[in-house]
Chains A and B, each alone.
Chain A
Amino acid sequence: MTNAQGADKPLVLVVDDYQDAREMYAEYLEFSGFRVAQAQNGAEALEKAFALLPDVILMDLSLPIIDGWEATRRLKSDERTRAIPVVALTGHAMAGQATGDQQVSCDAFVIKPCLPDALVAEVRRVLAARKASAAR
């Protein structure tokens, strides 16, 4: 699943249990010049994140086994993955009102439906912000 064409390309971990959406975003991200890794539940997401240490993680929040909130919390509480920006994806507009703790744990929120180009724009924005804060 991993597409290692060049180490200079940022690696995006796409986490979504809905295969069509996950592969769609993966395809478009690759089309847009990213390396992509995929995970289909929270547990797999944590495993991949610790193994690959991606540059950014696209995290759907409603996931089986371990949900997106919990996975994000664990990533943010681990030294190795704390700095990796997490873009939360949610189709639940009503559940999208995160409480304070949850909100700070994610770096950005994207509400589905989200067109692939809009998602890629958001990923680029987050990476740029990360780069800017890392340069500081």
Chain B
Amino acid sequence: MPSTAPLTPPAAPGSEARTESEPLSADRERALLWRLVDAVTDPCFFTGLEGRLLIANASARQLFVADEASNAGRRRAVELNQRLLDTALASLATGGASAVRRRDLSLVDPVEGTDLLFELVSTPVQEPGCTPGVVCVLRNMTDLGRATRALGESYRRLRASEQQARSERLRLDLILDSVADPILLTDPAGGTVLMNDPAERLFAAPHDSGEATRRRARTNDAHLSSFLSHLLSPGNARRWRGELPLVEPGTGAPMPMEAVASKVLSDQGETISIVTLLHDRTEALEKARLLEQLRAASNKLEAKVHAATAELAEQNEKLRRQAFQLEQASAAKSQFLANMSHEFRTPLNAILGYTNMLLQGVSGEMTPQQRRNLQRIDSNGRHLLQVINEILDITRIEAGRMPLNAADFELPELLQEVMAEMDPIVARTKLAVHTALAPQLPPVHGDRQKVKQIVLNLLSNALKFTHEGSVQVSADSAPATSTVSISVKDTGIGIAAEHLEKIFEDFQQVDSSPTRAYGGTGLGLSICRRLATMMGGSVAVQSTPGQGSTFTLHLPRRMRQA
């Protein structure tokens, strides 16, 4: 739309001042009108019926008119505004019958390039003598629209945050209620602002519950109030910890609670509210109680162990004393037996000595009867001496005072001596007694006297318990084990299996009755076994009742003292 002369005000008619009283000329009036129109800040303009802009004030020209000097941006903006105005006017023309019409019109600020919102108020002019057209006024609505939009936005945000707050509150409630421990929020006046379900169960009994339940809830509440008073009175600590003796309102069961209350402070340091957390101590107390019981039991046990240990020590001490006394008693017994044996020997020495002298004819010849009687005294005396000697041997072995004298000796010589000593006794039997020596018997290192004593004992036993048949004394060696053995084998009465060990015990014979058929102390085999053990050897027996026995002395070739 090309701009035309009428759009612009006529050149200033002159600056000459006019007074009010002077009548205005037509030109001056026109100029004044133009100035008036231009002074209106809202864009005003008059268009022809076809939409051509005929008169426009300065604001309108700003929007719709561009001259050659204008830049490309402004020209495009003006062109756009013109087109938008045409469209608006066209829609207004086809509008209703109403004279004044209003509608919104969005335009572009050609200078700034920003959007502008106007209300277009158009009034058709159809008066005779006048060019028909439309008078339009644009009222700038830009700021208003902006404010409206901002308001809408604020409102939307408000709604959203309200929504969010609501959902957060809901979530918080869910969280609080899902916490098993009671939680309370109290205002600075002590009024409860909020509590979760567990707290509600403790402090707020439902109205339909029984009187007892409500009373207990009130008691709980009283406990809580007195607890919170520590924080509510001004100037106190920010946190308070304590124990509340609460009860389960429904049942009255004790629910000891540990409570921690904390002040929530504002930026200015004022107490906004108090958060109280309660923790059920029942389980902890139960655990502590069990622990205490356990500790008590443990202490009791320890005390018992101490007592038992002390008693044991005492028993030990007693035993030690007893052992010592026993040892002393044993030593006393040994001493007694040694003394007794001395007391026995002294008279026996005289008996045997005088008998011996009489038998030798020191006091002259005797009748055969006297001689036989003296021989009986002599043999009985010798037997008594043997008994005394055996008791003494046992006593010495038991007292550990049986000395061993080690020396090298040959078994054949030893057996020869034994046979020679036993010859008088053998002669009185009808037994065939012989020896069987293995070839190349090694020399033995040991106590010859003790070995001889053992063999003598075994042989005299064999002779005593064998009525017919034979007795064989044999010697052998086992180089592999470095041992030698001397066996005495008889064809005597034998020993039943159940008695085989018993015969080695002190004072034991198979027949221990006073009317037994065989003499002897019953100490012989016991001494034999003990002596053999002392020399590191042993005495073994094999026997078949009615057929005979074999006693074997095993000895190490070189004695090691046991």
Contact = CB atoms under 8 A, between A and B. Distances in A.
Contact of B356 (A91, A92, A116): A116
Interface string B390-405: 0010011001010100
B395 to A, nearest CB: 8
Interface string B357-378: 1001010000000000000000
Interface stretch (A3-11, A73-81, A107-115, A126-134): A107-115
Contacts of A112: 345-346, 349
A91 B352 CA distance: 14
Interface string A47-59: 0000000000000
B345 A91 contact: yes
A116 B346 contact: no
- Give the interface SS of chain A, mostly helix, strand, loop or mixed: loop
A27 B362 contact: yes
B342 A21 contact: no
Given A24-B353, A28-B357, A114-B349, 5 more contacts: A93-B396, A112-B345, A113-B353, A115-B356, A116-B353
Nearest to A95: B338
A21 B341 contact: no
A28 B362 contact: yes
Interface string A20-51: 11001101100100000000000000000000
A1 interface: no
Contacts of A95: 338
Nearest to A23: B350
Contact of A97 (B346, B347, B360, B403): B403
A106 to B, nearest CB: 17
Closest 7 CB pairs of A and B: A113-B349, A94-B338, A20-B350, A115-B356, A91-B345, A91-B342, A112-B349
Given A94-B338, A94-B401, A113-B385, A27 B350 contact: no
15 contacts: A21-B353, A27-B357, A28-B362, A93-B338, A93-B341, A94-B396, A94-B399, A112-B346, A113-B345, A113-B348, A113-B349, A113-B353, A114-B349, A116-B353, A117-B356
B354 interface: yes
A64 B433 CA distance: 50
A115 B352 CA distance: 7
B215 to A, nearest CB: 99
A126 B126 CA distance: 193
B356 to A, nearest CB: 5
Q: Which of B341, B353, B360, B396 has the most CB of A within 10 A?
A: B353
Contact of B353 (A28, A31, A92): A28
B177 to A, nearest CB: 100
A47 B346 CA distance: 25
A24 B353 CA distance: 7
Of the listed residues A24, A113, A114, the one surrounded by the most CB atoms of chain B closer than 10 A to its CB is: A113
Question: Taking each of A27, A112, A117, which has the highest tally of chain B beta carbons within 10 Å of its own beta carbon?
Answer: A112
Nearest to B396: A94
